[in-house]
Amino acid sequence: MSKRIVVALGGNAILTDDPSADAQQKTLLNTAKNLVKFVENGDQLIIAHGNGPQVGNLLLQQAASNSKKNPAMPLNTCVAMTQGGIGYWIQKAMDEVMAAKGINKKSVALVTQIKVNANDPAFKRPTKTVGPFMSKAEADKDKKAHPDYVIVEDAGRGYRRAVPSPKPEKILEANAVEDLADKGMIPISVGGGGVAVAQKGDSLQGEDAVIDKDYASAELAKETHADALITLTAVKNVYVNYGKPNQKALKHVTVPEMEEYIKQHQFPEGSMLPKVQAAIDYVNATGNEAVITALGNIEGYLKDHSGTIITKD
C-alpha cells in the first residue's frame, strides 16, 4: 500500500568532508539514488533536511564581507538562503535520478516558514551548533574576535558556534506541501529546520534562530498527515551504550522504553537525543511508527523493516 513518508536527511546525506558546492551536489546525487527507492516502492515522499554546517559557513561569509554597500544578511535570511541553495541541489539531484530511471515525477523545493513562540526560552540560551568545527585554540580566538558569539562543545566532536533553536509550533506552508504531495510531486520542505517566524503585533517577523531539523521534520510529518517519519543519519541503528564494548543496537523499541533510555542519558544532546525526542513526539501524536536508520539502509528498511523502529507500544 502506498504510504506518505517524511524523510529527514542528516548531515552526512549532504556534506561529507568537502564543503564545496560541487562536492555537496555529488553527495546529494548519491543521496537521491538512495531516496528514489521510496518512490520505486510506490511511496509518497516528502523530503526535509538540515543546514547546520551550511548556515554557519554562510554567516561567516556574511561577516567577512559586511559593509554599508554589501551588508551582512541576518540569520533568518541566511536560513532561507540555505533552504534555497540546498533545496535546489536536492531538487536537481532527485529529478536527474528519476529521469534516468524513467520515473515521470518532479520534486519541488519550497521556502518554508515555521511559527515559533517569540518568548521561547531557547532565544536566551543558544544551543544549536552551526558552521565548521573548531579546536579549543580556534574557539578561544573566535570568541576573542566576536565576544557576542556563543561557542560550545558539540557532542564531543569539537567546538562550534551556537545559535538559538526554538521549538517549531506551526508550519505555514504545510497545506501547500500536502497539495504538492497529493498531486504526485515530491516536496522538499522545512529545509534547515524552516525559517523561524514569530508574531509581533499584526505581522510575522523573521527570528534569528535555527530550528532543529529533527523537530521540524516531526512537525512536518504530523501536519502533513504522514504515515511514517524516517530520520536518515550515519548509523543503521540507535544504540544503547553507544561506542562501548557492550553497545547494543535497538531494533524495535517502544516509546516507554526509549523514554527510559533517555533517563539513562544514552543519547547525547545535539546528535542522537533530538532525533529520539522528535521520533517520540511524532509517534505519540499520531500512533504511527518513526524510524531512525542510515541512508544506506533504505533498501533494508523497505525489505526487512530493519533500522531502529519506534512505536507507541
Ligand X SMILES: Nc1ncnc2c1ncn2[C@@H]1O[C@H](COP(=O)(O)OP(=O)(O)O)[C@@H](O)[C@H]1O
Ligand Y SMILES: NC(=O)OP(=O)(O)O
| Residues recognised as catalytic | 11-12, 128, 213, 275
Q: Is 11 in the site for ligand X (CB under 6 A)?
A: yes
With CB under 6 A as the contact rule, the residue among 268, 300, 302, 311 that binds ligand X is 268
> What does 210 interact with, of ligand X, ligand Y, none (CB < 5 to 8 A by kind)?
ligand Y
Alpha-helical runs (H) found in 129-234: 136-145, 174-182, 213-223
Q: Is 272 in the site for ligand X (CB under 6 A)?
A: yes
Distances in whole angstroms, Cα of residue 257 to Cα of each of 151, 253, 262, 270, 290 = 33, 6, 9, 21, 14
With CB under 6 A as the contact rule, the residue among 88, 133, 149, 242 that binds ligand X is 242
> What does 109 interact with, of ligand X, ligand Y, none (CB < 5 to 8 A by kind)?
none
Q: Is 239 in the site for ligand X (CB under 6 A)?
A: yes
DSSP assignment of 171-183, as one string? ETTHHHHHHHHHT
Output the smallest distance, CB 150 to ligand Y, in A. Answer: 16
Q: CA-CA distance, 229 to 278, in Å (whole number)?
A: 9
How many Å from the N-terminal Cα to the C-terminal Cα in the chain?
23
Choices 98-106, 117-125, 200-208, 266-274; region in contact with ligand X by CB under 6 A: 266-274
The residue of the chain with the least Cβ separation from ligand X equals 10
With CB under 6 A as the contact rule, the residue among 216, 229, 238, 280 that binds ligand X is 238
Q: Is 11 in the site for ligand Y (CB under 6 A)?
A: yes
With CB under 6 A as the contact rule, the residue among 110, 150, 235, 262 that binds ligand X is 235
> What does 297 interact with, of ligand X, ligand Y, none (CB < 5 to 8 A by kind)?
none
Output the smallest distance, CB 213 to ligand Y, in A. Answer: 4
In this structure, how many other beta carbons lie within 10 angstroms of the beta carbon of residue 21?
10
Output the smallest distance, CB 55 to ligand Y, in A. Answer: 7
- Judged on CB neighbours under 10 Å (0-12, 13-18, 19+), 263 is exposed
> What does 27 interact with, of ligand X, ligand Y, none (CB < 5 to 8 A by kind)?
none
Q: Is 271 in the site for ligand X (CB under 6 A)?
A: yes
152 grid coordinates? 560550545
Nearer to ligand Y among residue 77 and residue 311 (C-beta) = 77
- Judged on CB neighbours under 10 Å (0-12, 13-18, 19+), 207 is buried
Helix (H, G, I), strand (E, B) or coil at 121: helix
Q: Are 48 and 216 in contact, with CB atoms under 8 Å apart? A: yes
H-helix or E-strand spanning residue 114: strand 113-115
* Total chain residues near ligand X (CB under 6 A): 15
Choices 34-42, 49-57, 198-206, 284-292; region in contact with ligand Y by CB under 6 A: 49-57
Q: Is 210 in the site for ligand Y (CB under 6 A)?
A: yes
Q: Is 126 in the site for ligand Y (CB under 6 A)?
A: no
Q: Is 57 in the site for ligand X (CB under 6 A)?
A: no
Q: Are 196 and 206 in contact, with CB atoms under 8 Å apart? A: yes
Q: CA-CA distance, 278 to 50, in Å (whole number)?
A: 14
Q: DSSP character for 296?
A: G
Contact residues toward ligand X (CB under 6 A) are 10-12, 50, 233-235, 238-239, 242, 266-268, 271-272
- Residue numbers of the site for ligand Y (CB under 6 A)? 11, 50-52, 192-193, 210, 212-213
